[in-house]
Amino acid sequence: MLCDICKKNQATVHLTEIVDEQMTELHLCEQCAKQKSVQMEQQFGLADLLAGLTDLGKQAKEDIGQISLRCPNCGLTYEDFRKAGRLGCGKCYVTFKKYLSSLLKKIHGSNQHLGKTPAKVSKTVKVKSELQDLKDKLQNAVLAEEFEEAARLRDKIRELEAKRSKSDAT
């Protein structure tokens, strides 16, 4: 497959761009991919994105300035992370946890990795996972005093538990 930009070289990099819910696939040669990368970095640098997403209050910024946070495993400082937009190792997540949790929540919608369920996992495991998720949401709705949402979640839990009971009986 030829590069979508230069139409001369073999495409070795395949990008998927999603803009305004429109998905576009780009097939690029190495040289055009480097140029595109430079353009994207100038336009929308990853470090700038991460720095803009971090919701650090004045106190947290002062803490970072006063305390030189450094990962004991790889030696990366928090300031280095803010500049590069990349952590050095898995231990960095623990070291910088206080400052990363709000950032991860903004990027991923959660600051806890839940992963994906493998396709071969049985239906009972999937239902059990869904039930636990609904129960967690129910608890949060009750705490937030969103009683209509809590009632809807309660009914959904009862429905799933009834289905699970029926399938266990057969």
Helix (H/G/I), strand (E/B), else coil: 18: strand
Q: End-to-end CA distance of the chain: give it in Å, rounded.
A: 53
66, with CB counted inside 10 A (0-12, 13-18, 19+), is exposed
- Residue 109's pLDDT is what? 66
Quote the CA–CA distance of 81 and 42 in Å, as a whole number. Answer: 18
pLDDT in tens, 106-157: 766 666 666 666 766 667 777 888 888 899 999 999 999 999 999 999 999 9
Highest mean pLDDT among 7-11, 29-33, 115-119: 7-11
- Position of tokens 């937009």? 85
The C-alpha angle with vertex 44 and arms to 81 and 113, in degrees rounded to 5, equals 50
The sign of the CA dihedral 157, 107, 32, 36 is: positive
| DSSP structural state of residue 89 | S
Cα 19 to the center of its chain, rounded Å: 18
pLDDT in tens, 34-74: 887 766 655 444 455 555 544 444 334 444 444 568 899 99
Quote the CA–CA distance of 162 and 129 in Å, as a whole number. Answer: 15
Quote the CA–CA distance of 79 and 73 in Å, as a whole number. Answer: 16
Q: What is the DSSP string of 21-35?
A: TEEEEEEE-HHHHHH
